[in-house]
Amino acid sequence: MSTDQPDYMKAKAWPFEQARQILKRLDIEKKRGIERGDKPVVFETGYGPSGLPHIGTFGEVVRTIMVMEAFRALTEDKIPMRLICVSDDMDGMRKVPGNMPEQDMLQANLGKPLTDVPDPFGCHESFGHHNNHKLREFLDGFGFEYEFKSATDLYKAGVYDGMLLRALEKFDDIMNVMLPTLGEERRATYSPFLPISPSTGQVLYVPMKSVNAKDGTITFDDSDGTEVTVKVTGGNAKLQWKPDFGMRWAALGVDFEMFGKDHQANSIIYSRICKILGAQPPVQYVYELFLDDKGEKISKTKGNGISIDEWLTYATPESLALYMFTKPRTAKRLFFDVIPKAVDEYFQHLNAYQRQDADQKINNPVWHIHAGRPPQDTTPVSFALLLNLVSASNASDKDILWGFIERYSPGANAADYPVLDKLAGYAVRYYEDFVKPSKTYRTPTEQEGAALMDLAGRLRQVPEAEQADSEALQTLIFSVGKDHEFENLRNWFKAIYEVCLGQTQGPRFGSFVAIYGPDETAQLIDNALAGKFG
C-alpha cells in the first residue's frame, strides 16, 4: 500500500470508477482515429424547472463534480473539462405545482413553455427564469464552476439547429426507435417534433401532416385547426423529451452524464437517438432516487422531502455533500431526521483522514467533498451531543451551550472553534423545530427508577478531577447498570434517554455527563423521577 502517492487507477470510490470509464471512452475514440485536440471533456447535468429545485437536483451536480475531480486526479489535470448545466425550460408546463402561489394564473398558462409562463412570485421574467435563478443561486453559493445553459436559449439562438435539421433528415429512423415504445393510441399521433403554436404559444403534441427535410420544415394543424408550416429551427419547435435527451448529447458533445433510476429504462432510447444523429452516447451513471419520510419519491411539484435551504438551515453544506457521496446507488430517505447523523459522520471521516495513508485518503468521502484538499477543521463535541445538551439545558441560543463547552474544554471559544460555533447554532434550531415537538418522556420501571436514583447519587460524589473524564463517567454508568442487574446494558442506556431526555437514543452518555456536568446530570435525573420534564 502506498504511503506517498496514491494509486488513482485502483481507487475503489465510485467517482474514480466513473472517471476510469471516461478514460476508456477517450482511448476508444483514439483507436478509431478520432482526434479531440483541445476539445474538453464535457460533463453535463439536466434540470427540469417545473418547480423549485430540491436537493436531488443539487445532488446530481455535486456528484458530477466529484467525478470531475477524480478525472482531474487521474489525468494530472492535463485534459480540459467543462461542466454544463442545462435547464429544460422550453418544456410546456403540464400541471400546476401545488406549492406555488397564483394558482389560477398558472392554470391559465398551462401548455406554454416554462420561460413563457409569468413568474408567480413576480420577481423574474418567467416561471422558468425564477426556478433557474433559484438553482443557480445555490450552485453559485456553493462555489461550483459550471456553465448554465437554458434550453430556450439553445433552441432560439440556433445552437441546436444543425441537430434539428439532421433529426428531420432521420425522421423515419427516430420514429422507428420511438413507436415500439408507445401504446397504440399514442403511436397514432406521435411526433418527435413539438411545434410551438403560432396562435396560442403552447407546446403542441400533434401529429405531423408532412415533414420536409430539404426545406427544414414541418406541417401540422394548429390548435384552431388551421394548417401551419414552420421551420424546425430558431425556436419554432422542440423535440419530445426522449429524443431531446439524445439530441442534446449529440449537439453539446457530452462525454458523461448521470441521472436517476427513473431514466434507466429510457437510457437505451437516448443512446440510440444520439447515434442516429451521428454521435457517440456519453458514459452514463444511474443513481437511486431519494425518498421522503413516507418512502415516496421526492418531487419538485409535490414539494415533499427537504429543500436545499431547509437542509442548510440546520446543518453544514459539507454534511449535505457527504449525504450525496454515500451509496448513490442505494435508495435513501431524504428527510430531516437524517441530518444529525450526516453532520457527525462528516467529522468522523474528516478526523480519520489525518491518520490515513495516501490510498486510504482517496477513498475517504472528504477527499471527494473537498476536491482532494480537505480542511483540518475538527470539533471536540459531536452534533448529537450538542442536541442533547440543548435538550438538558433548555438552551435558547448557542451562548448557553458555550458555557458548558468551555467548562468541558477550558479555553475553548467561538473564535478558535468557528465550526463548533456554527454547529451550536444549528443544534439550537434543529432541536427547537424537530426534537422538542416529538419528545416523549416515560415513567421508569421499578428497576429503572432505583438504578437512576443510584446513578444520581454516585454522580454527585464524582471527584472534581474526574468530572470531565468521559471514560471514567461512562465506566461509572456501566457499573450502575450492572449493579442493578440489567441483562442487556443497552436497555439501561435506553432507559436513561427515554426517562430523562424523552428520546430513545443519543450520544455516548459518559460524554454527555462530562460536558453537561455530573451535578447537573444528577439534577436532571431527579427532575425526571419527580415528573418535571423539559
Q: Let me know: does 520 contact 391? Beta carbons within 8 Å.
A: no
Give the pLDDT confidence of 243-258 residue by residue, as tens digits: 999 999 999 999 999 9
Domains and CATH numbers, the chain: 8-182+239-291 (3.40.50.620), 439-534 (1.10.10.350)
Give the pLDDT confidence of 234-290 residue by residue, as tens digits: 999 999 999 999 999 999 999 999 999 999 999 999 999 999 999 999 999 999 988
Q: Quick one: average pLDDT of 21-41?
A: 90
Q: Quick one: average pLDDT of 181-205?
A: 96
Long-range contacts of 215-218 (CB under 8 A, 24+ apart): 216/164, 216/165, 216/168, 218/168, 218/191, 218/193
**Residue 302 clears pLDDT 60, i.e. is over it:** no
**Model-level pTM?**
0.88
The band of 298, judged by pLDDT with boundaries at 50, 70 and 90, is low
Give the pLDDT confidence of 389-430 residue by residue, as tens digits: 998 888 888 999 998 888 888 888 888 899 999 999 999 999
The band of 303, judged by pLDDT with boundaries at 50, 70 and 90, is low
Q: Let me know: does 468 contact 506? Beta carbons within 8 Å.
A: no
Task: Kindly state the cell numbers that stand for 389.
Answer: 445538551
The band of 377, judged by pLDDT with boundaries at 50, 70 and 90, is confident
- Residues contacting 399, CB < 8 A, separation 6+: none
Give the pLDDT confidence of 74-110 residue by residue, as tens digits: 999 999 999 999 999 999 999 988 878 999 999 999 9
**Residue 1 clears pLDDT 50, i.e. is over it:** no
H/E segment holding residue 59: helix 55-74
Q: What does the pLDDT read at residue 299?
A: 63
Give the pLDDT confidence of 195-207 residue by residue, as tens digits: 999 999 999 999 9
Residue 404: phi and psi, rounded to 5, are -75, -40
State the Cα–Cα distance between residues 98 and 302, nearest whole angstrom: 6
The band of 300, judged by pLDDT with boundaries at 50, 70 and 90, is low
- The per-residue pLDDT of the chain, averaged, comes to 92
Q: What does the pLDDT read at residue 364?
A: 98
Helix (H, G, I), strand (E, B) or coil at 85: strand
CB atoms within 10 A of CB 289: 15
Q: Quick one: average pLDDT of 19-36?
A: 91
Q: Which residues pair with 471 in a beta bridge?
A: none
- Residues contacting 360, CB < 8 A, separation 6+: 1
State the Cα–Cα distance between residues 406 and 358, nearest whole angstrom: 35
The band of 10, judged by pLDDT with boundaries at 50, 70 and 90, is very high
Q: What does the pLDDT read at residue 438?
A: 85
Reduced 3-state DSSP string for 181-228: HCCHHHHHHCCCEEEECCCCCCECCCCCCEEECCCCEEEEECCCCCEE
**Residue 53 clears pLDDT 60, i.e. is over it:** yes
